[in-house]
């Protein structure tokens, strides 16, 4: 009887081993692909208090290769009395994007500070409202805005300085992209 036990154990284990070999293997995590970053430094220069400072082409980046933009991020302004309207586009001027023709339009954001209750106030809290905003966009996996090599990507700025002081407005846009060539 002792001679047959190893064979019986082998017959019992063999189907289990075959089933384990036939089971699907857990997929390895996908390999991380590199994403590149370009920072478009944009500025209106000095924007006097109470002034509207509109600057087309306030900043520019020209990709050397064809790229797919997968995400854009723009930091919110710290000065609560600024209204900032920003566009990232291949179009040479701001406000050229329309529902029937949005080619080259990549990203737009508005930051609206709460504004002043009484302009010209020299003391006290004169601010009203809220400044909640969305300042980034990320496209779904596998999608991006394709920009041909050598095509300028501009940051356009339209700023209303409702602050009590003159400000130099710097507004950078971070472009996350994947080269396609």
The predicted model scores a pTM of 0.73
For the chain, domain boundaries = 30-179
Q: By percentage, how much of the chain surpasses pLDDT 90?
A: 43
pLDDT winner (highest mean) among 11-25, 77-91, 135-149, 155-169: 135-149
Residue 64 has pLDDT above 90, yes or no: yes
Other CB atoms within a 10 A radius of the CB of residue 60 amount to 13
| Predicted confidence (pLDDT) per residue in 89-127, tens digit | 999 999 998 888 889 999 998 877 655 555 555 655 555
pLDDT winner (highest mean) among 111-120, 124-133, 160-169: 160-169
- Residue 90's pLDDT is 96
**What kind of architecture, by CATH, is found in domain 30-179?**
Sandwich (2.60)
- Over the chain, what is the mean pLDDT? 81
């Amino acid at each position: 009887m002792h001679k047959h036990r190893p064979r019986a154990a082998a017959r019992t284990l063999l189907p289990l081993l075959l089933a384990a070999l036939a089971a699907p293997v857990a997929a390895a995590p996908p390999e991380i692909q590199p994403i590149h970053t370009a920072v478009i430094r944009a500025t209106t220069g000095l924007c006097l208090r109470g002034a509207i400072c509109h600057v087309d082409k306030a900043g520019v980046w020209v990709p050397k290769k064809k790229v797919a933009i997968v995400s854009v991020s723009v930091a919110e302004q710290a000065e609560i009395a600024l209204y900032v309207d920003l566009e990232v586009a291949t179009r040479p001027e701001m406000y050229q994007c329309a529902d029937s023709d949005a080619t080259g339009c990549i990203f737009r954001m508005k930051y609206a500070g709460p504004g002043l209750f009484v302009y010209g106030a020299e003391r006290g809290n004169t601010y009203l409202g809220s400044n909640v905003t969305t300042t980034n966009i990320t496209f779904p996996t596998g999608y991006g805005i394709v920009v041909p090599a050598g095509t300028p990507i501009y940051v356009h700025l339209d700023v209303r300085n409702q602050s009590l002081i003159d400000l130099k407005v710097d507004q950078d846009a971070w472009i996350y992209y994947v080269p396609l060539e």
